[in-house]
Amino acid sequence: MNSVTVRVPAKVNLQLAVGPLRDDGYHDLVNVFHAVSIFDEVTATAETGMTVRVEGESADQVPEDGDNLAIRAASALAGHAGRSYGVNLVIRKAIPVAGGMAGGSADAAAALVACNELWGLGLPLEDLMEIAADIGSDVPFALLGGTAVGTGRGERLTPLEVSGTFHWVFALAEGGLSTATVYAECDRLREAGGERVAWPRAAEPLLAALRAGDAEALGAALSNDLQPAAVMLRGSLARTLAAGREYGALGALVSGSGPTCAFLAGSAAHASELAASLKEADVARDVIIAHGPVPGPVPGPVPA
């Protein structure tokens, strides 16, 4: 085999609870991840060196050198195997770059799965998860897919039971937001407000809504502690969120560190209507309909 293609989904955070700032500069999180049907595609082809090319959505904003998270993942896997493997990776991006949907982490996860297959390593998921956690805290979930709660920095994962399918509309913004800047702004706002930061916990109503497949209850339970910071840094998001609520979204929130906004709809038809209204209102660079949860990356023929 000299070429493997893997399709990998974006994520939205259904709950992102940010605990107090730790001594190591990270925060303890409770992060309910949900994989949705916006996919990047990564093709790994056998080659002597390690190279990457990026095509599609905002490709010019993604590094094509050793800083690319997919190349870092491939190098880490080769290191783990103790061999000097080579690969050429072609990434076709549909996940918005620096959009709070973990596109870079998704590409890293896809590269791990593709190279594991290409190089015939046959490593089990647990080994790939360990390598993934060293690359970034969102990478282990990108390998897993579905819906899961992450604790620690988000990397300790427990899959969650979910009934049915949820329908989403995503409003993409012009330009990205740096995750580090959004966390710093969150710390600044909390300090300025004299806020005593509680230990983060998974919200029981949210877990119950997922188990029951109850979109209305899920919409009411969505929460993101980074949202005030993202809105402070990008004032236009307040208008985007308000427009989605006004057009009947069951829930509206900033996805991760933003600036993408996520809106929950009651059905596929409701999602189409909501997307049309948001387009008409001109509150986003682009509007995408998706559903979740979807499975994580697997090698093999990419569905049409």
The footprint of ligand ATP (CB under 6 A) covers 61-63, 67-70, 91, 97-105, 107, 138, 176, 179, 256-257
E-strand stretches of the chain: 3-21, 27-46, 50-56, 87-93, 147-151, 156-159, 166-172, 223-224, 251-254, 261-265, 286-292
Q: How far is the CB of 10 from ligand ATP (least distance, A)?
A: 8
- Do residues 145 and 6 lie in contact, with contact meaning Cβ atoms separated by under 8 Å? no
- Choice between 63 and 213, CB closer to ligand ATP: 63
Q: How far is the CB of 102 from ligand ATP (least distance, A)?
A: 4
Q: How far is the CB of 225 from ligand ATP (least distance, A)?
A: 14
Would you mind telling me the total number of residues written for the chain in this entry?
A: 304
Active-site annotation holder among 40, 138, 214, 225: 138
Examine the residue annotation and report whether 24 is marked as an active-site residue of this protein: no
Q: How far apart are CA 254 and CA 257, in angstroms?
A: 7
| CA distances in angstroms from 209 to 162, 213, 265, listed in the order given | 8, 6, 14
Q: How far is the CB of 68 from ligand ATP (least distance, A)?
A: 4
- Choice between 143 and 215, CB closer to ligand ATP: 143
Of the candidates 12, 38, 30, 31, the one whose C-alpha atom is nearest the C-alpha of residue 251 is: 12
Examine the residue annotation and report whether 11 is marked as an active-site residue of this protein: yes
- Choice between 214 and 292, CB closer to ligand ATP: 292
Q: How far is the CB of 208 from ligand ATP (least distance, A)?
A: 26
- Choice between 69 and 287, CB closer to ligand ATP: 69
Active-site annotation holder among 11, 40, 93, 107: 11
Burial class (CB in 10 A: 0-12, 13-18, 19+), 49: exposed
Of the candidates 131, 157, 142, the one whose C-alpha atom is nearest the C-alpha of residue 104 is: 142
Q: How far is the CB of 34 from ligand ATP (least distance, A)?
A: 13
Of the candidates 72, 76, 85, 151, the one whose C-alpha atom is nearest the C-alpha of residue 118 is: 85
- Token pair, residue 202, equals 């998974």
Other Cβ atoms within 10 Å of 259 Cβ, number:
28
Which residue's beta carbon is nearest to the bound ligand ATP? 104
Q: How far apart are CA 218 and CA 212, in angstroms?
A: 9
- Do residues 249 and 274 lie in contact, with contact meaning Cβ atoms separated by under 8 Å? yes
- Do residues 284 and 173 lie in contact, with contact meaning Cβ atoms separated by under 8 Å? yes
- Choice between 105 and 147, CB closer to ligand ATP: 105
- Choice between 94 and 217, CB closer to ligand ATP: 94
| Residues catalogued as catalytic | 11, 138
